[in-house]
Structure 1
Amino acid sequence: MRILLVEDEKKLAHAIQEHLESAGYEVRVAGTGEDGFFLMSTTPFDLVVLDLMLPGRDGIEILSTLRARNATTPVIIITARDAVEDRVHGLDTGADDYLVKPFALPELLARIRALLRRGISETKLKLEYAGLEMNLVTREVTRDGCSIDLTFKEFEILEYLLRHCGSTVTRAMIVSDIWQEVARAAPLDNVIDVHMARLRKKVDAGFEQPLVHTIRGVGFILRSVR
C-alpha cells in the first residue's frame, strides 16, 4: 500500500513516515502544498495524509481540487485546527477522516487501516490465475479446487507472485518488498531459495502444468507456460 504524507513540519513528518513504514506501508513525503498536489496528480496512492496549513497551496484547496477531478483516494486530514466548524468544513470538502494535532501515531495507523479496509473492493479480495485462487480475507489458497496449506511467509510470497503474474519477480524485489530489507545478502538468498522450493512443491505437486518457475540468475515467475 502506498501512502502520500503532505506535512511541512519535518520532525512530525519523519516520525509519521517511520511509524507507517515500520507497519509495512510505502510512504512518500511532500513538504509543501505544491509538491503534494504534484505527486497526487502524477502518482497513484492508496491513501493521502494531508495537513491543512501548508506553504503554497493549503490542504483544503488541494482536497477540493482533488475531489473536483472525481478522485476517490481516501484522505485523512491532520491539523492543529480543532474548532467544530473546521472539522465540518474539512469533511464537507471531501476528507474521509479528520485528526487533530497532537495525536498518537498508533491512532493514525488505526484510522489508516480502517479506511483502507473500507476501500477494498470485492475484486481485490481474491487473486486468481490459471486455476490458482487466493482469498486475501480468509487466507485460503486452492488450485483447481484442491486446498493448499501455506505458512505465513509462503502466503506472502505467493501473493506477490500472483500480483505480478506473467512478470519476472527478482530476488531484490522479494528482499525489499517481502522481507523489508534494504540490501540483499547471500544468507537471505539461501532463505528465499528454501521458501521457494517449498512453495513450488505445494503449488505444483500433482499437477501436470507447473506454475512457479525459476529464471536462472534473475528471480522467479508465475506463469502457466514454460
Structure 2
Amino acid sequence: MNVRILVIEDDADINEVVRARLERAGYDCTGAYSGSEARLLLGRTAPADGAGDGCGYDCIVTDLMLPGMSGERLVTMLRERGAGVPIIVISARDTVADRVALLRLGADDYLVKPFDLDELVVRVQAQLRGRGYGSSAGSASSGGHAAADDDTTPDDHPVLSAGRWTLDSAARTFLIDGRPANLTNTEFNIVELLMAHPNTVFTKQQVYELCWNEPYMVDDNTVTAHVSKIRAKLKPSGTDTYIRTVWGLGFKLDV
C-alpha cells in the first residue's frame, strides 16, 4: 500500500530534505509551505462527511511557526474533525512546556530542530506501525546516517570531483581549478565528507562524529567555526558557496 505523508514546513530547504529522506525510505510525500496551503490540501482530500481520518494522508510531519495558519491550529483542526492520522511535530521550540502542550492538543510525537533525519524516519515508522501499517515501507532504506545514500565511505572513492574542486583522499590533496588549497586536517575531513555525499545534509553532530572520530560532546559552534574557516579560504576562488547551510539541519555540498 502506498503510504502518503504530508510535510508542512515553510523553509524550502528543510521541506525538500525531509521529503527526500522519507521518499528514499519508500513513502509518497507531498510538501506544503504554509499552514494555509496545508489546510487546502487537507480539505481537498478529506471525505465530505469527515469520516475516517478525514484528511487523505497516512501521516503528517509539521512545523509550528507557519505562515497563514499555525501548526498548533492545524493539529487542533484535525483532531476536532476526528482525524486519527499520526502527527509528528518538528520545531525549534524545545521547552518541555511546548512539547507537553502540543501532545495535549493531539500531536503524537515531537522532534526538536536540528534533528537527525534517520530518527524522523524511525519515528514515522513507529507511528505507522501503531496504526497497522507494518514496517515494510522504509525498512530497507532507514539504516545508517541519514546523510549517507549508501554504505560507501570516502575511502571507497579516493578521487572526488565537484564543480571546480578535486579531492584525492589517498594523497590528502584538495585542488581548486587544479591549484592546491591549504586546508587543515579537520577542514580536509569536512570537505571530503561533503564531497563524498553531494546534495546530502549532514547535521552538526554527524559532521563532528565523522570528521573528528569521537562522540559529539562539544558546543555547536565548534563545527560552525570550522565551516566558516573553510569558506573564508574558499572565498577568493568564488567557491565558498559550494558549502550550503540548511537552517535547522546542518550543511551540504551544493554545486
TM-score (norm 2): 0.47
Does structure 1 residue 35 correspond to structure 2 residue 37?
A: yes
Does structure 1 residue 69 correspond to structure 2 residue 71?
A: no
Does structure 1 residue 14 correspond to structure 2 residue 16?
A: yes
Picking from 90, 93, 117, the partner of 2:105 is 93
Which secondary structure does the structure 1 equivalent of 2:129 belong to? helix
Number of residue pairs aligned between Structure 1 and Structure 2: 124
Distance in 2 (alpha carbons) for counterparts of 1:3 and 1:41: 15
Picking from 94, 104, 107, the partner of 1:82 is 94
Counterpart in 1 of 2:203?
A: none
Distance in 1 (alpha carbons) for counterparts of 2:22 and 2:78: 23
Distance in 2 (alpha carbons) for counterparts of 1:58 and 1:87: 15
Counterpart in 2 of 1:107?
A: 119
Could you report, residue by residue, the CA deviation over 1:115-153 in whole angstroms, capped at 9, with x for unpaired residues? 000011xxx77xxxxxxxxxx99xxxxxxxxxxxxxxxx
Counterpart in 2 of 1:23?
A: 25
Distance in 2 (alpha carbons) for counterparts of 1:56 and 1:47: 21
Distance in 2 (alpha carbons) for counterparts of 1:14 and 1:66: 24
Q: Larger helix proportion, structure 1 or 2? A: 1
TM-score (norm 1): 0.53
Distance in 1 (alpha carbons) for counterparts of 2:122 and 2:11: 22
**Displacement of 1:45:** 0.4
Distance in 1 (alpha carbons) for counterparts of 2:24 and 2:81: 32
**Displacement of 1:25:** 0.5
Distance in 2 (alpha carbons) for counterparts of 1:55 and 1:13: 14
Which one scores higher on RCO, CA 8 angstroms, separation ≥ 6? 2
Could you report, residue by residue, the CA deviation over 1:64-99 in whole angstroms, capped at 9, with x for unpaired residues? 011011110100000000011100110000000000
Which secondary structure does the structure 1 equivalent of 2:5 belong to? strand
Counterpart in 2 of 1:218?
A: none
The unaligned stretches of length 5 or more in structure 2 are 46-55, 137-255
Question: Between the two proteins, what is the percent identity of the paired residues?
Answer: 44
Which secondary structure does the structure 2 equivalent of 1:19 belong to? helix
Which secondary structure does the structure 1 equivalent of 2:130 belong to? helix
Distance in 1 (alpha carbons) for counterparts of 2:75 and 2:61: 11
**Displacement of 1:108:** 0.2
How large is the RMSD of aligned CA atoms in angstroms?
1.5
